[in-house]
């Protein structure tokens, strides 16, 4: 099981950042290597279920995300199903004039990704991808404010 967690300041209020991240298509816009989001359907808890494709180690990995927690302006949690299994949690907190956005992920990787690249390489890769996602969200709002 791999885990990664990081936080970034976003120059927008909590409600705006939550609304942006509540649209699964925006995840594809800010998450490196997330190449497709499809079959989005609403859930009774306010969350969504969707299918995705993520590119890693030269291969497309298809899966499903189910939003298990949808607490407006506070927290989202997703269960990843398929070849990538685990959880993703996004937390939103007021931070001065903006938002502290925390992204935490715990997941198991397909065995062939580990064996072809090695666990330390895969761990660093995924930590960089998580950080890049946060930076892309922050940049999205910095550019809008300019």
Pick the CATH number of 2-145 from 3.30.365.10, 3.40.50.10320, 3.90.700.10, 3.30.530.20: 3.30.530.20
10-37 pLDDT, tens digit per residue, is 999 999 999 999 999 998 899 988 989 9
pLDDT value for 123: 73
Residue with token string 């302006």 = 73
pLDDT value for 41: 97
**36-60 as b/e, with b when 16 or more CB fall inside 10 Å?**
ebeeeeeeeeebbbbbbebebbeee
Q: What does pTM read for this prediction? A: 0.87
84-129 pLDDT, tens digit per residue, is 889 999 999 999 999 999 999 998 766 655 555 566 776 787 788 8
Burial of 94 (0-12, 13-18, 19+ CB in 10 A): exposed
H or E element, residue 16? helix 14-21
Q: In this structure, what is the dihedral angle of CA atoms 37, 127, 8, 53, given to the nearest 10 degrees?
A: 0
| Eight-state DSSP code of residue 11 | S
| 6: pLDDT strictly greater than 90 | yes
Residues in the chain, how many? 146
């Amino acid at each position: 099981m791999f885990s990664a967690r990081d936080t970034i300041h976003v120059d927008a209020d909590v409600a705006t950042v939550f609304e942006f991240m509540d649209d699964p298509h925006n995840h594809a816009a800010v998450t490196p290597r997330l190449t497709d989001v499809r079959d989005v359907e609403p859930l009774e808890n306010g969350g969504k279920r969707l299918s995705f494709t993520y590119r890693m180690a030269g291969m497309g990995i298809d899966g499903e995300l189910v939003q298990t927690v949808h607490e407006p302006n506070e927290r989202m949690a997703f269960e990843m199903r398929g070849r990538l299994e685990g959880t993703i949690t996004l937390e939103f907190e007021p931070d001065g004039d903006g938002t502290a956005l925390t992204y935490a992920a715990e997941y198991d990787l397909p065995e062939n990704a580990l064996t072809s690249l090695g666990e330390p390489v895969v761990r660093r890769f995924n930590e960089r991808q998580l950080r890049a996602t946060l930076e892309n969200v922050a940049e999205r709002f910095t550019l809008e404010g300019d």
